[in-house]
Structure 1
Amino acid sequence: MRLIAHRAFASCYPENTLVAIERAVPDADMIELDVRRCGSGELVVVHDEVVDRISAGVGRVDELSSADLSNLDVFETGTGVPTLDEAAAAIPADTGIVLELKERGIADDAVAAASTVENEVIVSSFDAAALDQLTVDDPTVELGYLLGLNPDRDFEHALDLDCAYLHPHWGHLLLTDAVDRAHDTDMKVNVWTIDTAFVAGLLERKGIDGVIADSPDVR
């Protein structure tokens, strides 16, 4: 069972930052990062639409340039919002990368960026349309679908998109046969977001392939 560092272990380190990535890598099999497009066109690694929560700055990510975002002091780390290229370069080749698309219209660019690194890469989203917009055919990059409030409908979306991975919430799996359903269709299952080793152990016995966690202590 693989351990995937959610936002580079968000409960331990300043999420989605280069500082967090550096600290998370020794304990993680894969690093999960949130991806958006900034105002100057680059893909950047940040969860929120605005920068108010993560810094003393204000404004929308899609209205700020990569230079503006780089100059922020994110979570008082002395570092700014990294571009996707910078974040990917900070992750060793033997550590996988999961890119969660936070908006539509960026799938091709995310896959193009992923194709420049040697890491295993999964591109995921809650939004079927965000993944369906992908036109780049890169066999080295696999798709993952995050299950939301309608797991059965989302499961069908994952099949339609030919996803290699299903990313359901852990609570959905404890009472359903979703793991077996996914494995029967050759999809692997990475579960979010795990907070305790106890839950991780229960899910491992159900046959999941990976846990997406905010802390390395779940393993």
Structure 2
Amino acid sequence: MTLIFAHRGFAASFPENTMKSFTEAQKAGADGIELDVQMTKDGELVVIHDEKVDRTTDGKGYVREYTASDLRKLDARYKFQELHKKEQIPFLEEVLNWLKGNSMVCNIELKNGVFPYKGMEEKVISLIRRNRLENRIILSSFNHYSLVHAFRLSPEIEIAPLLTDGIYMPWIYAESIRAKGFHPHHRTLHDSIISLSLKHGIEVRPYTVNNEHAMERFIKLRTSAIITDDPAKGLAIRKACMQEN
């Protein structure tokens, strides 16, 4: 069965990468969440996609130039001003602590391609181990050197490289870096790549799948998971596909 991962939480209807977005994804019935991690000036791991706070908060500037306490003062509701309650940028520790109360999988994307945050892998792994979530976490990144480093630090935590372009025989590449799967851009993903990867025991989880026809295609091809902004839509399409069978 194709799992439904909520991209930055239920980002289609709630402020991305906030606790509100994650809890609403859980309420919708998502199998997992995907989130992004950056590091503050004082070394705290925070959940936000962009290197800058400008797009998703009422603040300006780089995440790495804020202290954790100053970052928490920002309002992360951005385009969802109809929500009455201010939303903070979460700490990764806060999200992992919440995950202990449910059974969801969590895909943590290490956002260290633009700024190579020193010690990020060690800090993320330490938090995962402290919360005993090793078997429910997937570490992904466009920085594949970082993923290899993370695997060497903690071979018990799954890694999955993010791919923007199609590569030749991606299941072989995944195996070469000890990854159990890969996360390709959905437009690069041919049917044969899915079937051959799965045949070789490599999981395929395309991002960011929001189109209904694309969702249906991946579900019918038994893709390992889809990463979507709208988990409710994905779950409804999965249910319809299962009823057809």
Equivalent residue, structure 2, for 1:88: 96
TM-score, reference length from structure 2: 0.82
1:28-69 deviations in whole A, cap 9, x for unaligned?
111100011111101110001111111221121011111111
Bigger Rg, structure 1 or 2: 2
Distance 1:177 1:154, change over 3 A: closer
Q: Give 2:111's aligned residue.
A: 102
Structure 2 Cα separation of the partners of residues 138 and 42 of structure 1: 24
Cα pair 2:162 2:183 within 8 Å, conserved: yes
Q: Unaligned stretches of 5+ in structure 2?
A: 236-245
Residue 78 of structure 1 is matched in structure 2 by: 86
Within-5 A mapping of 1:1-219: 1-26=2-27, 27-75=29-77, 76=81, 77-91=85-99, 92-103=101-112, 104=116, 105=118, 106-119=120-133, 120-134=136-150, 135-139=152-156, 141-152=157-168, 157-173=173-189, 175-216=190-231, 217-219=233-235
TM-score calculated relative to the size of structure 1: 0.91
More moved, 105-114 vs 124-133: 105-114
Q: Which runs of 5+ in 1 are unaligned?
A: none
Distance in 2 separating the partners of 1:48 and 1:96: 22
AA in 2 matched with 1:98: N
Q: What is the CA deviation profile of residues 135-186 of structure 1, one whole-angstrom value per residue up to 9, with x for unaligned ones?
A: 42251x211111112423865542221111211122222x352112322332
Q: CA RMSD in A?
A: 1.9
1:151 alignment partner, SS class: coil
Matched residue type, 2:111: K
Task: Give the number of equivalent residue pairs.
Answer: 217
1:200 and 1:168 map into 2 onto residues whose CA distance is 14
Residue identity matched to 2:123: D
Aligned partner letter, 1:80:
Q
Percent identity of paired positions between Structure 1 and Structure 2: 28
